[in-house]
């Protein structure tokens, strides 16, 4: 029995389903959850989506997103729980999930296999690609609303069709989405052109304070206390800023220290292939993808921060990417 066959069986057997994903959901988690929910409802099932945190503001007007329940504990009975995009059961940040029959669907490397069914496909550019495979196995139609969410999942998780995870099936799904009536231009406008003024201001402030290391190949961004208030930005407004230094030809990695967010000092890493920042994150107990990873720093000592920067610089050196030349 393949994982997909096992999931089809779970769906056939059940009537009430719960769907969740990771805390601070992104376009792929929202798109995958809602697409699956709409398809299950089309099959006559009752579906509740629960997340700890609200969807990104840019996605709030998409179909069905307003119905997502926000909670940090779930107790009602469900026939099965679908956990999308989570390496372990702590990632949703919701209590009480372990009592359900869990269907674990993920495309990230490294998964704790916490479900009765565990389906991973690290070749999928987005969890949304896996949802399409499941819908096809269920014989569920790609309606315009479902296709809209799948397109959002792929658009956002591929960094607007730029990541190495993209395959022919990515475009095949997008072709089917366009055929289903998805308006790519209006979705792009919704996702990328509805930012707050605070986001523009904090982007400027962070780039103004950017430091270059490793001979100009590594950009270091630091979000210190007070910058959010100073610029009128929200924590969500920082999302995506970390990718901007990679627009520069010679910069192949970015390290971002976020001192004002969450409890500890959060370190986010981004890189251009083949620089492997996941290997650095794993050394500090974190994880992620080869070119997008993160972890919580063991402490805030300057020596610790310097060591982290050195480790990323060493990861760049490992790939043999040359030092920036003065004129390039």
Q: Which residues bind Mn ion (CB under 5 A)?
A: 28, 127, 157
Q: How many CA atoms lie within 13 A of 277 on its CB side?
A: 24
Cα gap 224→232, rounded to integer Å: 14
Q: Nearer to Mn ion by C-beta: 30 or 102?
A: 30
Q: Own/partner pairs for 202-210, CB < 8 Å, 24+ apart?
A: 202/227, 202/228, 202/231, 202/233, 202/237, 202/238, 202/241, 203/241, 203/244, 205/230, 205/231, 206/238, 206/241, 207/241, 207/244, 207/245, 210/245
Closest separation between CB of residue 126 and Mn ion, Å? Answer: 5
Closest separation between CB of residue 278 and Mn ion, Å? Answer: 15
Which residue's Cβ has the minimum distance to Mn ion? 28
Closest separation between CB of residue 284 and Mn ion, Å? Answer: 22
Q: State which H helix or E strand residue 16 sits in.
A: strand 16-21
Q: Own/partner pairs for 111-118, CB < 8 Å, 24+ apart?
A: 111/87, 112/87, 112/88, 114/83, 114/88, 114/89, 115/83, 116/10, 117/3, 117/6, 117/7, 117/10, 118/3
Q: Nearer to Mn ion by C-beta: 145 or 157?
A: 157
Closest separation between CB of residue 322 and Mn ion, Å? Answer: 32
Closest separation between CB of residue 108 and Mn ion, Å? Answer: 7
Q: Nearer to Mn ion by C-beta: 243 or 319?
A: 243
CB 59 within 8 A of CB 32: no
Q: Nearer to Mn ion by C-beta: 49 or 228?
A: 49
Q: Nearer to Mn ion by C-beta: 252 or 292?
A: 292
Closest separation between CB of residue 29 and Mn ion, Å? Answer: 7
Q: Nearer to Mn ion by C-beta: 119 or 257?
A: 119
Q: Nearer to Mn ion by C-beta: 118 or 310?
A: 118
74-94: b (≥16 Cβ within 10 Å) or e:
beeebbbbbbbbbbbbebbeb
Closest separation between CB of residue 288 and Mn ion, Å? Answer: 11
């Amino acid at each position: 029995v393949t994982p997909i066959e096992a999931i089809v069986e779970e769906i056939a057997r059940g009537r009430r389903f719960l769907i969740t994903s990771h805390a601070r959901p992104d376009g792929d988690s929202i798109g995958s959850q809602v697409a699956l929910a709409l398809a299950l409802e089309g099959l006559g099932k009752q579906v509740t989506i629960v997340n700890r945190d609200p969807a990104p503001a840019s996605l709030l007007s998409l179909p069905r997103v307003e119905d997502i329940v926000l909670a940090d504990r779930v107790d009602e009975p469900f026939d099965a729980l679908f956990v999308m995009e989570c390496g372990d059961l702590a990632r949703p940040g919701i209590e009480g999930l372990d009592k359900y029959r869990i269907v674990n669907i993920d495309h990230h490397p490294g998964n704790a296999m916490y479900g009765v069914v565990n389906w991973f496909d690290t070749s999928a550019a987005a969890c949304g690609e896996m949802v399409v495979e499941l819908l096809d196995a269920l014989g569920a139609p790609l309606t315009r609303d479902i296709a809209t969410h799948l397109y959002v999942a792929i658009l956002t998780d591929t960094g607007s069709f730029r990541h190495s995870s993209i395959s022919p099936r990515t475009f095949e799904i997008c072709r089917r989405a366009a055929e289903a009536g998805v308006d790519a231009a209006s979705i792009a406008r919704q996702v990328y052109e509805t930012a707050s003024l605070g986001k523009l201001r904090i982007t400027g402030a962070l780039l103004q304070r950017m430091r270059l290391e490793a001979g100009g190949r590594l950009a270091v961004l630091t979000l210190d206390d007070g910058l959010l208030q100073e610029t009128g930005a929200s924590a969500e407004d920082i999302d995506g800023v970390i990718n901007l230094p990679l627009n520069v030809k010679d910069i192949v990695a970015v390290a971002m220290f976020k001192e004002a967010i969450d409890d500890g000092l959060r370190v986010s890493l981004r890189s251009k292939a083949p620089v492997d920042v996941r290997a650095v994150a794993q050394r500090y107990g974190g994880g992620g993808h080869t070119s997008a990873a993160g972890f919580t720093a063991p402490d805030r000592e300057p020596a610790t921060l310097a060591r982290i920067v050195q480790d990323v610089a060493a990861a760049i050196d490992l790939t043999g990417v040359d030092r920036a030349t003065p004129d390039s």
